[in-house]
Each structure stands twice: as structure tokens, then as C-alpha cells.
């Protein structure tokens, strides 16, 4: 069963690889009316880590982000399959010792799966931060992230002002 998942994953990756040259026939720097190059770069990176960097001709970063995300997603699929198999054995086990063994395996694989999901989300967040900072420097002087902590002495309150501008 895990072999089928591997074949499907490989087929999806190959299909994506074949579709990229077809999409890049139009110049990547030509933005449709109404969309700034900054927004286009952010949208590409939102779809999949590394696509924004690829569009901005940062090939090494694109390969690193895409490779890290693919690795994390592959780990999610692998540990999800192993966890499901261990759970099936746990559910079908009759011997109490086997029940304990398969339950601990299920928990172990679920923890690994959850860690891989968290790592994939981390890669995505780092990817978005990277493309935002790069594209901001390259395209838009108006785009900014503002962070301002404050303390109001009379009311004795502490807070933070956050400001995002993505023009």
C-alpha cells in the first residue's frame, strides 16, 4: 500500500515538473494589470514554497525551500501510513502485550507525523518571510511590516502595534 502512495507522489511531482516549463513560456516579470510584482511573488510562494524564489531567479533558494517542503510532506505521508498500519494491528491485537506494543508504535508514528507537519509549516513560513523581504527590497519601497511595542503609563497597559502594508 505504501508503494502505491510513493508511485502517486512521484507521478504528482513529475506532473508538476512537466507543467512548470509550459507556465514559464510567458515572461515571469510581466505582471497582469492591477497586480504588482511584489504581490505576484508572494502569491507564487503562497502556492508552494520556492515558487516565488524561482520566479525571482533565486534558483538555489527555490531548490532549498521546495526540497525541504517536499521532504517534510513525504515524511508526513510515510509516517501517516506507518501510524495507520500500527493502529490497524493495535485494533486487531488479542494479546495484551501486543496491544501495548502496537499502541506505543501508533503514538510514536503519530508524533513523528505531527513533527513533520510542523516542520512543513515552518518551511512555508520561512519561505514567505524570505520572499517578502527580498521582493520588498526589489520592488516596493512602500511595503513594510511595522512592530511597535508600547506602554501607557496612566492606564498601566502594555501592548504591541503591528502594521502590514503590502502595496
- pLDDT tens profile 94-143: 899 999 999 999 999 999 999 999 999 999 999 888 888 887 777 765 55
- For residue 86, give the C-alpha cell: 500500527
Strand boundaries in the chain, DSSP class E? 144-152, 157-165
Residue 27 resides in a domain = no
CA distances from 141 to 36, 94, 136 (A): 12, 67, 7
Q: What is the mean pLDDT of residues 158-162?
A: 74
- For residue 22, give the C-alpha cell: 509550459
| Dist CA 105 CA 124 (whole Å) | 29
**4 versus 7: which is more confidently predicted?**
4
**Residue 163 contacts residue 145 (beta carbons within 8 Å):** yes
Q: Write down the pTM of the prediction.
A: 0.60
For residue 80, name the pLDDT band (cuts at 50, 70, 90): very high
For position 18, what pLDDT does the model report?
Answer: 46
For position 111, what pLDDT does the model report?
Answer: 95
Residue 93 resides in a domain = yes
Q: Find the domain containing 16 and state its range.
A: 2-20+34-141
Residue 83 resides in a domain = yes
For residue 150, the cross-strand partners are 159
Residue 55 resides in a domain = yes
Q: How many domains does the chain have?
A: 1
- For residue 74, give the C-alpha cell: 513525504
| Dist CA 69 CA 67 (whole Å) | 5
Per the listing, cell 512592530 goes with: 147
Residue 147 resides in a domain = no
Amino acid at each position: 500500500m505504501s508503494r502505491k502512495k510513493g508511485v502517486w507522489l512521484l507521478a504528482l511531482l513529475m506532473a508538476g515538473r512537466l507543467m512548470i516549463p509550459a507556465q514559464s513560456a510567458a515572461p515571469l516579470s510581466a505582471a497582469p494589470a492591477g497586480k504588482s510584482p511584489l504581490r505576484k511573488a508572494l502569491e507564487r510562494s503562497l502556492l508552494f514554497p520556492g515558487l516565488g524564489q524561482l520566479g525571482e531567479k533565486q534558483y538555489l533558494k527555490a531548490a532549498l525551500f521546495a526540497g525541504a517542503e517536499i521532504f517534510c510532506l513525504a515524511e508526513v505521508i510515510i509516517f501517516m501510513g506507518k501510524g495507520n498500519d500500527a493502529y490497524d494491528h493495535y485494533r486487531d491485537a488479542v494479546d495484551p502485550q501486543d496491544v501495548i506494543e502496537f499502541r506505543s508504535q501508533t503514538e510514536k508514528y503519530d508524533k513523528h507525523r505531527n513533527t513533520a507537519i510542523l516542520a512543513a509549516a515552518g518551511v512555508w513560513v520561512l519561505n514567505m518571510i524570505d520572499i517578502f523581504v527580498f521582493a520588498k527590497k526589489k520592488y516596493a519601497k512602500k511595503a513594510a511590516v511595522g512592530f511597535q511595542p508600547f506602554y501607557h503609563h496612566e492606564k498601566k497597559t502594555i501592548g504591541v502595534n503591528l502594521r502590514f502594508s503590502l502595496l
